[in-house]
Amino acid sequence: MKYDYTNKIVLVTGGTGALGRAITAAFIASDAKVVSSYVIDREIEQLKKESKAVVELIKTDVTKEEEVEKLVLSVISKYGRIDVLVNVVGGYLGGKSVSELDEKEWNLMMTMNLKSAFLISKHVIPQMVSSKYGKIMHVSSRTGLKSSGYDSAYAASKSGLIRLVESLSEEVKDSNINVNCIMPSTIDTEANRRAMPTADHSKWVKPQDLANVVLFLCSDEANVITGAAIPTYGVA
């Protein structure tokens, strides 16, 4: 399905990553104005030429409040508002039991996966409330619902993100703002293929399929969905 995001201002954080690039490309193909921190690659360049999209890159560490504040202010001062926020920032740390995990590793997961989501939501929400319009998507994980062990910090951070989404969605539902997250299982990325060369890659969920779900959830067709954590597991 082709979505029309013409005149929509979309902020994608973590747009340099495997999933972030697919989401950014999907919004560009739907003619949105996209602000992202991704690195331009050839595929994105081609998409830009083929669409009416406006694409801008801003380097931001979304775990630092002053940088997040600056990012949001600069998008609003240039484009007037943010209609859609897709926060893709995140990372994985596993393979260690709770006893083996050190404090720095625990803090890294909480900061990268949970604090980042809090900070970017905190600074985007006030303008969405005054516009009485907004779509916010975060990226949790299947592990946020059920851990298989040896991933406590990651699992706890992604689980916390689901509760953050729930709480925030209740706080802003009267302002016509939808807040949801997806919970992917293993995504078919180059990094995962390198890390798990013998796994059955055909069972992994494709970035493009997740991008399609995100575009739907950020569209007005999905107005009745808020506070949801959507399972996006493919056939895994």
Ligand X SMILES: NC(=O)c1ccc[n+]([C@@H]2O[C@H](COP(=O)([O-])OP(=O)(O)OC[C@H]3O[C@@H](n4cnc5c(N)ncnc54)[C@H](OP(=O)(O)O)[C@@H]3O)[C@@H](O)[C@H]2O)c1
- Applying CB under 6 A, the residues found at the interface with ligand X are 14, 16-20, 60-63, 88-92, 112, 139, 141, 184, 186-187, 189, 192
What are the counts of helices (DSSP H) followed by strands (DSSP E) for the chain? 8, 7
The answer to whether 151 and 108 have CB atoms below 8 angstroms apart is: no
Q: Collapsing DSSP states into helix, strand and coil, what is residue 7?
A: coil
Sign of CA dihedral 195, 109, 187, 190: negative
Decide whether 61 or 170 has the Cβ nearer to ligand X.
Answer: 61
CA 91 vs CA 19, 116, 157: distances in Å: 12, 11, 10
**Rounded least distance, CB 102 to ligand X, Å:** 19
**Rounded least distance, CB 171 to ligand X, Å:** 22
Decide whether 175 or 206 has the Cβ nearer to ligand X.
Answer: 206
Decide whether 105 or 176 has the Cβ nearer to ligand X.
Answer: 105
**Rounded least distance, CB 96 to ligand X, Å:** 17
Decide whether 143 or 219 has the Cβ nearer to ligand X.
Answer: 143
**Rounded least distance, CB 211 to ligand X, Å:** 11
The answer to whether 9 and 84 have CB atoms below 8 angstroms apart is: yes
The answer to whether 94 and 154 have CB atoms below 8 angstroms apart is: yes
Decide whether 130 or 202 has the Cβ nearer to ligand X.
Answer: 202
**Rounded least distance, CB 213 to ligand X, Å:** 12
Residue type, 181: C
The answer to whether 142 and 183 have CB atoms below 8 angstroms apart is: yes
